[in-house]
Structure 1
Amino acid sequence: MQPKPDINANVLLATFSPSTQLRLIPYLEPVICKQGQWLQDTHEKLRYVYFPVDTLVAVVGVLSNSKTTALNLVGQEGMLGSTVLLGSRLSHHRTLVQQAGRAYRLPSGLFKEVVSQDNALQLHLLRYLHRQLLSIAQSAICYRHHYLEQQVCHWLLLSLDRVNGSSLYLTHDFMASLLGVRREGVTVVAGKLQQLELIEYKRGHISVLNRHGLEQLSCECYQVIRKATVNLE
């Protein structure tokens, strides 16, 4: 027998009304997400929406030549598949697990049905979706105008905001694929951050030693995105 889902493990789920939570709890399915796993692929039917618990999932844009760039990052503060609320039936991006962990998934049809019967919940989720669109737009500006060092600090900070603790498992190769850059560039930046004693890096494990220092080196985009996602009320 599966244990009862912990609604409070996901910040967005925890903001739903008690009556909505009671309707969803029987259908919330716990899933284990492995690093590098695709939860959804481009042009794939959106069968489920996901509510991360302690996993980190990147929303990734893919070109015809298979080059990729992360557009957004979702953790315990939010959900994946929210575009079903706008009538989307197919995924237009890939969702890639950056950090292994747990999530709850829910059939998208059931989710849409529950939301359609609750006007307050509809408005609440549309506000959440608006914040996600703001984050994606800011990321586009960041990739175009800011240096790689700023982008790496920005991404590390966004990741830390979505996990409990100061450690991440993230290789140079993986981060390079997320940022759409060469691995060598990420290696140079990581080396500099270690020399400044802002992070410690060992075999893919990143420990942040000085968060304030990372914030000083990051671009303004981090604070813009953080403010857009920190308050779900």
Structure 2
Amino acid sequence: MLAVNKHIEQKDFVLSVEGLTVSFDGFKAVSDLSLYVEEQEIRVIIGPNGAGKTTVLDLICGRTKATEGSIKFKGQELTRMNEHQIVHAGVGRKFQNPSIYEDLTVFENLELSYPKGRGVWGALTFRRDAAVIDKVHEIAEMIFLPDKLDMPAELLSHGQKQWLEIGMLLIQDPELLMLDEPVAGMSVAERQQTAALLQRITKDRSVLVIEHDMQFVADIADRVTVLHQGKVLSEGSMERVQNDPKVIEVYLGH
């Protein structure tokens, strides 16, 4: 009975970060950070440049190794896994600049990201069957590109390239999706569409976002975490952190 309760307790949070610290030559980029993300939550991390925001994503996805602390995803300790294992566990990461295959079509970009194609054997035995085609069309509809499937990705607008990369992650069906400044360089209309997209995809997953655009943050965030000098400065609703004197002083006031 105790084991069952413990299991339920762990399930309450998709992501549990506790006492996370990473030092680069004595400089603590992230210092004793604790963060808990619930199922189907959009959590946005904000803060001034150099606050440690991107480093937190690097730590979660295994790109950077923690000096101290724990990162648990659905009860699994990520600090002992490599990047590849973390992706397979169900964590997807989008970087600031779109990372897509520009010389391939939108369809081919999405098809390449389909999970059956992973690994050497998977790639050799991969077939474009009805399930793959249906999934590509489903994701293309979701990311506002159903009429662009045959277009080379290099011809997409900057915002559409951002959507395509989000689609390449969604087709892998991660349970935690991490996005680093997803609306940078987008038009107002594209930002609004992206907000709608993120709200729609949290029916099946949690999303962790780093963002500077405060209107976009207000549109999407269930909770906001403010980082400053590698530590949590404030946390809560957008309204709460916007009115926190410490946040106004170090971030929003500038």
Q: TM-score, normalised by structure 2?
A: 0.30
Looking at both structures, which has the greater relative contact order when contacts are Cα pairs under 8 Å and sequence separation is at least 6? 2
Q: TM-score, normalised by structure 1?
A: 0.31
